Structure 1
């Protein structure tokens, strides 16, 4: 989105037209909608702008729920925006520590700032891209305790605030469009070194990608990996008063409206490898990223299925939010012909295939196995005591 498109969109005609649009789900719907709007006398530029926003609003519903229906977005801004349920957790941490005036450096479209404002924090969003800053200001307009400044992060005196939140832009953008992604922390805005410098001056939270090189994580901070409905969405580094005493590794698991947390003072030591039991567990990705598998295995009285494999096994089933449990019904060395015979004998027509530590193409294997029948099962291809195994299982 460029400045001209923004002006068109923010006109009274543009906003009224955007809010009046029905949901559309196919290319045919788009073509029809364009024809209707053009026949009504709306300019091509306005039609393109409102249809783009309508599409982004539909996508944004997974992150912002009903709030999405009154927000405006850029492609890059929506992609990097924190889910509202997760942003609310971050905002609550600031509030519970008595930090009331927060600066959101690199606020993007204003998702995190929105959650802070909703919890009655005074938040100043800082965004250097003019178009994105204007959209953030629009999105935060309902909250008198929120403002947006069009400026670079390094121009702000963070000491004037109680705390800081940073979501460094890991994409090189122009007018809200991603030009390229950068894996180099020095290319981020602000750079990772600059972000850490800010964290040395005020209590700070820094949102990063969950797959960041762990060697970049400073020793003194709390590192929190967060998953939502099985998808690891982010890593947050907490500094100063925002870092909890004695906690350095955290896996936060959100499923629907429930939340659970596994925390430790350091990476946990791996559990011992042992024989395959009746139950096999697949740890949540946040637990794997936080390297807390060993702690979880010991908590559940289990053992690792094999060295270098995140899955673990136990003789009994234990309910846990931190792993998915499967009851193993059949196990055999991984041999496609034997496996095909077993799938046919069990009359399995619905077959979920999972793999870890075994090099196989699930789509090609499914075609070879040709599952048919009324029954369902999960096929787990993994290593057990170093050997490639095929395990038929059911979710416990």
Structure 2
């Protein structure tokens, strides 16, 4: 979105038009809406602006729910924005630590600032991009104790502010396309600046949001590193400093499913459990547990062991329930040979097949095609290694 489009959108006519748009499900609906708006005399620029924003609002429902219908977005801002239920957890951490004024530096469209303001914290938000800062100001306008600055994070005066939250820009937009920045040294503001803020803000309370695949060696010693997954998708790595870092917690895996949140914590990476032969059950740890390297603790806590060195599958002789893993009952071993596997699946009438794999070099989609599946039954197979040797397992989900 450029400045001209924002001006169109923020006009009284633009906002009224945006809020009045009917929902649409197909491309034909969009074409019809465009034609109707043009017949009503609205300019092409205004029509384009409101339609683009309406599409972003619809997409934003996954992160912001019904709040999305009263917010404004940019493509890059929405891509990087924190889900509202996760932002609420961030805000709760600041509130519990007794921090009353938080600087949201590089605030984007204001998702985290919204959550901070919603728990009655004073918020000073800033973004270096003029359009993005204006959109954040619109989104935060219901909160009188929140203000938005058009400013680089590095230029915000932090005197008297007790805590800071940063979500460094990890995406760039060019030619209408948003791409991820792979090199952490290219983040804006830099990680050196972000991690150094604990020595600048009054109470030393700093949280930094990073991508879940960030090199773990970049996490400073003494900070708390928390990987967060939402409904099975690992969405962020939070790095916490000062009073926001919990004593004795160096690694954490937070699993959010629906309205429930569960957490596995440890002082540091856990040592993997011993490797042993296949049991009656196989468990796939949540991605946050894998990223936090807490698989060993999860296995030991539930009487399990590792299926093979360096592979994130746990096996056990008894079933257990855990928010930190998906369980499968082992039905039988299947042949590893592809021709024999095809025959085994055909004999069982399996026409729909889920293929889960770890530690083996296969393309599930290509393998599925070569298996020439036919039949009405559906099944799941796990292709992995047992004590270093390849195995193909027919399994059934414990959760259905």
Within the alignment, does 1:366 sit opposite 2:365 as a pair?
Answer: no
Cα displacement string for residues 44-70 of structure 1 (whole angstroms, at most 9, x for unaligned residues) = 000000000000001000000000000
User: Distance between the aligned counterparts of 2:367 and 2:68, measured in 1?
Assistant: 41
What is the correspondence of 1:124-163 to structure 2 with a 5 Å cutoff? 124-163=124-163
Task: Give the aligned partner of residue 208 of structure 2.
Answer: 206
Which of 336, 339, 356 does residue 354 from structure 1 map onto? 356
Q: How much does 1:253 deviate?
A: 0.4
Q: How much does 1:173 deviate?
A: 4.7
Cα displacement string for residues 136-167 of structure 1 (whole angstroms, at most 9, x for unaligned residues) = 00001111121111111111232421110000
The two structures have a TM-score, normalised by structure 1, of 0.97
Task: Give the aligned partner of residue 346 of structure 2.
Answer: 344
What is the correspondence of 1:194-273 to structure 2 with a 5 Å cutoff? 194-201=193-200, 202-273=204-275
1:105–1:166 contact (8 Å) kept in structure 2: yes
1:333–1:387 contact (8 Å) kept in structure 2: no
1:158–1:198 contact (8 Å) kept in structure 2: no
2:75–2:178 contact (8 Å) kept in structure 1: no
Task: Give the aligned partner of residue 103 of structure 2.
Answer: 103
- RMSD value over aligned CA atoms? 1.5
1:251–1:286 contact (8 Å) kept in structure 2: yes
User: Distance between the aligned counterparts of 1:278 and 1:196, measured in 2?
Assistant: 46
Q: How many residues align?
A: 395
Which of 328, 333, 339 does residue 330 from structure 2 map onto? 328
Cα displacement string for residues 308-356 of structure 1 (whole angstroms, at most 9, x for unaligned residues) = 1101100011000000000010113411122112212222233211111
Greater Cα offset, 180-189 or 284-293: 180-189
1:171–1:178 contact (8 Å) kept in structure 2: no
Q: How much does 1:200 deviate?
A: 2.6
Task: Give the aligned partner of residue 186 of structure 1.
Answer: 185
User: Distance between the aligned counterparts of 1:383 and 1:22, measured in 2?
Assistant: 53
Structure 2 segments unaligned to the other structure (5+ residues): none
Greater Cα offset, 23-32 or 37-46: 23-32
User: Distance between the aligned counterparts of 1:183 and 1:349, measured in 2?
Assistant: 39
The two structures have a TM-score, normalised by structure 2, of 0.96
Task: Give the aligned partner of residue 114 of structure 2.
Answer: 114
1:71–1:139 contact (8 Å) kept in structure 2: yes
Which of 309, 312, 317 does residue 310 from structure 1 map onto? 312
Matched residue SS, 1:160: coil
Q: How much does 1:362 deviate?
A: 1.4
Q: How much does 1:180 deviate?
A: 5.1
Cα displacement string for residues 250-295 of structure 1 (whole angstroms, at most 9, x for unaligned residues) = 0000111111000000000011110101100000000000000011
Seen in structure 2, the aligned counterparts of structure 1 residues 100 and 249 have a Cα distance that, compared at 3 Å, is same
User: Distance between the aligned counterparts of 1:99 and 1:177, measured in 2?
Assistant: 39
Task: Give the aligned partner of residue 44 of structure 1.
Answer: 44
1:87–1:115 contact (8 Å) kept in structure 2: yes
User: Distance between the aligned counterparts of 1:27 and 1:240, measured in 2?
Assistant: 51
Task: Give the aligned partner of residue 387 of structure 1.
Answer: 389
Matched residue SS, 1:69: helix
